[in-house]
Amino acid sequence: MNYKILGIESSCDETAAAVYDSEKKLLSNELFSQIDLHKEFGGVIPEIASRSHLEKIVPIVESALNKAGVALDEIDAVAVTTKPGLPGSLSVGTSFAKAIAWSAGKKIIGINHLEGHVFSACIENDIPFPFLALTVSGGHSSMYLVKGLGDFELVATTIDDAAGEAFDKVAKMMNLPYPGGPVIEKLAATVGFEDFFSYPRGKKKLHFSFSGLKTAVLYDLVKQGAYDLKTKQFLKDDDQELKAKVSSSLLVCMGDVFKQKIKLALAEHPEVKALSFVGGVACNQYLRDVLSNFCKGRKIECYYPSRRLCTDNAGMIAFVGHYKALQNKFSDFDISIL
Ligand code: KG4
Ligand code: ZN
Counting Cα atoms < 13 Å in the Cβ hemisphere of 115 gives: 24
- Please tell me the distance between residue 100's alpha carbon and the centre of ligand 1 in angstroms: 30
Return the pLDDT at 266.
98
Dihedral sign (CA 119, 121, 122, 127)? negative
Question: What are φ and ψ of residue 257, in 5° steps?
Answer: -60, -45
Q: What share of the chain is helix, strand, coil (3-state, %, to 5)?
A: 45, 20, 30
Return the pLDDT at 43.
82
pLDDT in tens, the chain (338 residues): 899 999 999 999 999 999 999 999 999 999 999 989 998 887 889 999 999 999 999 999 999 999 999 999 999 999 999 999 999 999 999 999 999 999 999 999 999 999 999 999 999 999 999 999 999 999 889 999 999 999 999 999 999 999 999 999 999 999 999 899 999 999 999 999 999 999 999 988 999 999 999 999 999 999 999 999 999 999 999 999 999 999 999 999 999 999 999 999 999 999 999 999 999 999 999 999 999 999 999 999 999 999 999 999 999 999 999 999 999 999 999 999 98
Mean pLDDT over the full length of the chain? 96
- Using alpha carbons, select from 254, 251, 259 the residue that is nearest to residue 295: 259
**Domain housing 101:** 4-120+310-326
Return the pLDDT at 233.
96
95 with 49, same domain: the answer is: yes
Return the pLDDT at 42.
78
d(CA 101, CA 77): 7
Question: Does any domain span residue 338?
Answer: no
Question: Does any domain span residue 332?
Answer: no
Report helix, strand or coil for 196. coil
The residues lining ligand 1, judged by C-beta closer than 6 Å to any ligand atom, are 12, 137-139, 164, 167-168, 179-182, 185, 279-281, 283-284, 311-312
DSSP β-bridge partners for residue 47:
none
- Using alpha carbons, select from 102, 107, 106, 131 the residue that is nearest to residue 119: 131
Query: Atom 19 of ligand 1 has which residue's CA nearest to it?
Result: 181
Question: Does any domain span residue 34?
Answer: yes
Q: What is the pLDDT of residues 30-84, one digit of tens each?
A: 999 998 999 888 788 999 999 999 999 999 999 999 999 999 999 999 999 999 9
78 with 190, same domain: the answer is: no
277 with 176, same domain: the answer is: yes
Q: What is the pLDDT of residues 276-308, one digit of tens each?
A: 999 999 999 999 999 999 999 999 999 999 999
Atom of ligand 1 nearest to the CA of 168: 14
d(CA 40, CA 313): 23
Return the pLDDT at 116.
98
- Using alpha carbons, select from 5, 12, 111 the residue that is nearest to residue 335: 111
39 with 186, same domain: the answer is: no
Dihedral sign (CA 184, 51, 90, 63)? negative
Question: Does any domain span residue 271?
Answer: yes
Question: Does any domain span residue 336?
Answer: no
Q: Give 279's DSSP letter.
A: S
List strands edge to edge, sheet with 131-136: 151-157, 141-148, 131-136, 274-278, 301-303
Question: What are φ and ψ of residue 225, in 5° steps?
Answer: 70, 25
297 with 315, same domain: the answer is: no
d(CA 321, CA 81): 10
Return the pLDDT at 283.
98
Ligand nearest, relative to CA of residue 179: 1
- Please tell me the distance between residue 58's alpha carbon and the centre of ligand 1 in angstroms: 25
320 with 232, same domain: the answer is: no
d(CA 73, CA 227): 58
Name the residue of 31, 169, 283, 289 to mutate for ligand 1: max ligand atoms within 8 A of Cβ.
Answer: 283
Residues in CB range of 67: below 8 A, 6 or more apart: 19, 27, 28, 30
187 with 39, same domain: the answer is: no
Question: What are φ and ψ of residue 83, in 5° steps?
Answer: -170, 165
User: Whole-prediction pTM value?
Assistant: 0.95
- Please tell me the distance between residue 236's alpha carbon and the centre of ligand 2 in angstroms: 32
d(CA 167, CA 311): 14
